[in-house]
Structure 1
């Protein structure tokens, strides 16, 4: 649901001050008489591309003695004052929270504040709920997150006050991260290694279906509160799924709850009609296997610290660039809904691309390739913006779609790869902390996108694309240092992670070389597959 921000915050709205004495004033011209009143009341200002438009924040201070030109405009030296009422263009959307709360002029910073509060909620959810999921289980956190999401979604749909609205958005931010990360990790741990990519692909396709549903709802309703209300109603259906989804047997086993893990696996046998060759008796696990571990423990071992920092760097860059490109959808030329549908299609194509190639080429090669692909598209758009005529803007639009394809594919890959690199005992908290770093990147992208407002000239115009492109290429280069996980048994403990990626194990020299058998993913675990 968090992609709804495209239809609520980041669309460029045409607005102007309302005529004080005109009770039924509208943005659309009502006739010659209405146009005369607008010219007499609202000053003209020069905006981007040297285009003139009516002021959004000021009106003329006129009197009965004020003289007007043939165009029914007062003299250019007429003083102005701030207005306190506005009218908005409703040709695209009938209303949004911006128009309802009048988040324009002096209150325009409230949009950025609302965005920041929402993403701070996502950061909070990634950190807190990720840790709770590793401690209390994936399913419990999924239930809690769903309850929070339903409450926040209905609350925001009926919000009329700005403070209450952003509070509900904070709750939705927390719950969105908890729901997605718990569902993703649970899905990864419920399937055999050869089906991990398929499980990830199904989650990604569900996301794309949601994007198309959102685009259709926005096109039909053209109203932000109706969009939120329908989306909140659909969220209630999640409670049906919660009765079906089991707890992760991998997590149960890591906590020493072998009887419950066996019960889940036996249920699989009944449903699938296939014997799962699993022995989860405690005799096969040492005390170290069931001791709780923290993701911070990975920072105490040099090679794991470097690996973790590289994962964090990729998350920061990928989400920063992904959000930066998505942020620009509402500002693109052309129809908003068509642009959104094309961007959504790019995401679906990217996920399908990853599904078809991720197991064949491996995580590392594909991530490096897609990051370079995105970075190349961003850098090429710089040359188009600098040296091509503005009539060829469509080339920049196509490059934006290409960049979206590359960065979406990178996002899909890094989610799978990170989940496989972090050991079971800290997997959800590892994904959670990675998401925290990623959302920190998303908070920087609006400011990077607005650099053109502070750095004037053509350099300022292309600077955001330079940053996005360069960061994508750098992240791709650093990901070459991470170990490949394709088709390999995943680490259960931090000490497993130390050994992961090494060609040989030497048990005689150090405890750090001790390798614990990953029974949850070994060859004869569920169906005999690796």
Structure 2
């Protein structure tokens, strides 16, 4: 007897599993905001150099004399979307500097400034404002995002090993405790180094919570309901980001935002006691009596029958012994592996690139991020209705093509549309976010079905690594907007995202359709699959 048969016997998704699932979804939702934490705590408001010698200088104009000082010391910007330069100040020599009728110096030289004043329209205080991560240090903002995803990459490996060693429930406890500790510590970061180290730690712990919650949920559910349960938890994920927006809108202090998001993580410890261990893991470790006790209790709650004798008949599950290099043991399999890796990277790059960099879009900062999050709901729902009707391959090509064309089209609305088409630029970016979400969900299904059973774990694990790479490079692609500058610069990251999506759509043509096909088991099956 297989373990899935036992789960079917006690109820694939009965009241007991549903109760546990609700508890686990709370943990899933509470962890979500930490993936997009940089949107508000690292927000970069409008700013300019501080007027030399004026200690009480503010970004907001205090009066006519203040305006005269600004005109005297701060150069006007050459960019259409900025009034003043953000990184330079005039060196004024009162005996030699000549001014025009508007108090602007004519013959003064510029120099880089070392202190700034910030607009309080969007944020009261962000970590960027605290540490002055602007101008020559602006790259540190993107670097902190990349370091966070580096932590996510490490956590994917680390918590997978820990979970298989000490169990799912204990691993969840470790992740929650360290998530709470690193989150609270992050709120009290005194410098950039401390901040990025703790962001790295939160990345490690966040993915640890995500993975463990997901695994426990899936290992308690029978095969007939597993796909449905997986889709539901993906659909519910953006709820955490909505909570993050609400907190950020009303708090607007970077450290208090972090504290407000971290405290519920600590409170989740009270719910952890009610989360059961995975009986599948217990059985695999030879602890069949403990597994039987949990299954018996589940059957009682579900009002079904369970006999401990079935545990004696349970056949040991075969562990896949595939190695990563076997993914490239054949030309066909290797080609498909490269295509899948690239699609994972692009889907992640576009998803996080559009999620974490809404500040590069036109319109209200908070509303743009809200729209970006809302796009995830239809993005997760779309594959449910399409992949089983027209196929995985066609669906993925449609998602990548439509998303890519939407992002590419922004070059026309930005360069030729003027201010009246700025809302259309944002709308096109949101369409790109919607379809990148759908593509992310679909490439997961394609990968799981294209990789042979013998190397499926190795293939999925490697694909996940490339997704993290996509997340790590996305902040620097967003920074190309500043390198180009002006209104054209706004479209450059979107054009890069769009071009990458179209290439991914073209490469997907090389993959086989997996809908209603017998999936490959051995390496040989994988070589011949779809031929």
Q: TM-score when scaled to structure 2?
A: 0.81
Whole-angstrom distance in 2 between the partners of 1:182 and 1:81: 52
Residue 164 (structure 1) aligns with = 194
Written as runs of structure 1 = structure 2, the 5 A alignment for 1:286-301 is: 289=317, 293=321, 296=324, 298-299=326-327
Partner residue of 2:373 out of 334, 344, 350: 344
Kindly indicate whether the alpha-carbon contact (under 8 Å) linking 1:314 and 1:414 is maintained by their aligned counterparts in 2. Answer: yes
- The structure-2 alpha-carbon separation of the partners of 1:352 and 1:394, relative to structure 1 and needing over 3 Å to count, comes to same
Whole-angstrom distance in 2 between the partners of 1:497 and 1:246: 36
Residue 213 (structure 1) aligns with = 243
**Does 2:497 align with 1:468?**
yes
Shift of 1:458: 9.7
Whole-angstrom distance in 1 between the partners of 2:411 and 2:102: 43
**Does 2:46 align with 1:18?**
no
Question: The residue matched to 2:377 in structure 1 has which SS?
Answer: helix
Whole-angstrom distance in 2 between the partners of 1:256 and 1:500: 32
Question: The residue matched to 2:86 in structure 1 has which SS?
Answer: coil
Residue 195 (structure 1) aligns with = 225
**Does 2:114 align with 1:84?**
yes
Kindly indicate whether the alpha-carbon contact (under 8 Å) linking 1:121 and 1:173 is maintained by their aligned counterparts in 2. Answer: yes
Partner residue of 1:246 out of 253, 257, 276: 276
Shift of 1:269: 1.1
Shift of 1:446: 2.9
Shift of 1:159: 1.2
Shift of 1:390: 4.8
Kindly indicate whether the alpha-carbon contact (under 8 Å) linking 2:99 and 2:106 is maintained by their aligned counterparts in 1. Answer: no
Kindly indicate whether the alpha-carbon contact (under 8 Å) linking 1:16 and 1:54 is maintained by their aligned counterparts in 2. Answer: yes
Written as runs of structure 1 = structure 2, the 5 A alignment for 1:444-483 is: 444-451=473-480, 464-479=493-508, 481=511
Kindly indicate whether the alpha-carbon contact (under 8 Å) linking 2:74 and 2:84 is maintained by their aligned counterparts in 1. Answer: yes
Kindly indicate whether the alpha-carbon contact (under 8 Å) linking 2:97 and 2:108 is maintained by their aligned counterparts in 1. Answer: no
- The structure-2 alpha-carbon separation of the partners of 1:394 and 1:351, relative to structure 1 and needing over 3 Å to count, comes to same
Question: The residue matched to 2:237 in structure 1 has which SS?
Answer: helix
Partner residue of 1:441 out of 455, 459, 470: 470
Shift of 1:250: 3.7
Shift of 1:443: 2.2
Kindly indicate whether the alpha-carbon contact (under 8 Å) linking 1:454 and 1:460 is maintained by their aligned counterparts in 2. Answer: yes
Shift of 1:43: 2.5
129-138 vs 161-170, greater mean Cα deviation: 129-138
Written as runs of structure 1 = structure 2, the 5 A alignment for 1:419-434 is: 431-434=460-463
- The structure-2 alpha-carbon separation of the partners of 1:146 and 1:52, relative to structure 1 and needing over 3 Å to count, comes to closer
Residue 31 (structure 1) aligns with = 63
Question: The residue matched to 1:160 in structure 2 has which SS?
Answer: coil
**Does 2:256 align with 1:226?**
yes
Question: The residue matched to 1:45 in structure 2 has which SS?
Answer: coil
Kindly indicate whether the alpha-carbon contact (under 8 Å) linking 1:384 and 1:395 is maintained by their aligned counterparts in 2. Answer: yes
Whole-angstrom distance in 2 between the partners of 1:361 and 1:389: 39
Whole-angstrom distance in 2 between the partners of 1:317 and 1:121: 19
Deviations 1:320-350 (A, max 9, x none): 1112222441122211111111111111222
Question: The residue matched to 1:468 in structure 2 has which SS?
Answer: helix
Kindly indicate whether the alpha-carbon contact (under 8 Å) linking 1:17 and 1:57 is maintained by their aligned counterparts in 2. Answer: yes
Shift of 1:30: 0.5
Question: The residue matched to 1:323 in structure 2 has which SS?
Answer: helix
Question: The residue matched to 1:236 in structure 2 has which SS?
Answer: helix
User: 5+ residue gaps in structure 1?
Assistant: 505-530
Deviations 1:42-62 (A, max 9, x none): 222322x3x563332232222
Shift of 1:407: 0.8
Shift of 1:17: 1.2
Deviations 1:114-150 (A, max 9, x none): 1221121111112222343344443333222222211
Shift of 1:248: 3.1
What is the RMSD computed on CA atoms of the aligned residues?
3.6
- The structure-2 alpha-carbon separation of the partners of 1:223 and 1:454, relative to structure 1 and needing over 3 Å to count, comes to closer
Shift of 1:81: 3.1
Kindly indicate whether the alpha-carbon contact (under 8 Å) linking 2:333 and 2:526 is maintained by their aligned counterparts in 1. Answer: no
Whole-angstrom distance in 2 between the partners of 1:279 and 1:298: 39
Shift of 1:99: 0.2
Shift of 1:255: 4.7
Deviations 1:417-449 (A, max 9, x none): 556777999877765443321111122223333
Whole-angstrom distance in 2 between the partners of 1:71 and 1:280: 93
Shift of 1:273: 1.6
119-128 vs 441-450, greater mean Cα deviation: 441-450
Aligned residues: 495
**Does 2:31 align with 1:2?**
no
Residue 73 (structure 2) aligns with = 41
Whole-angstrom distance in 1 between the partners of 2:272 and 2:325: 32
User: 5+ residue gaps in structure 2?
Assistant: 1-33
Whole-angstrom distance in 2 between the partners of 1:72 and 1:312: 58
Kindly indicate whether the alpha-carbon contact (under 8 Å) linking 2:397 and 2:506 is maintained by their aligned counterparts in 1. Answer: yes
Question: The residue matched to 2:83 in structure 1 has which SS?
Answer: strand
Kindly indicate whether the alpha-carbon contact (under 8 Å) linking 1:145 and 1:179 is maintained by their aligned counterparts in 2. Answer: yes
Residue 439 (structure 2) aligns with = 410
- The structure-2 alpha-carbon separation of the partners of 1:198 and 1:217, relative to structure 1 and needing over 3 Å to count, comes to same
Written as runs of structure 1 = structure 2, the 5 A alignment for 1:293-332 is: 293=321, 296=324, 298-299=326-327, 302=330, 308-332=337-361
Kindly indicate whether the alpha-carbon contact (under 8 Å) linking 1:200 and 1:416 is maintained by their aligned counterparts in 2. Answer: no
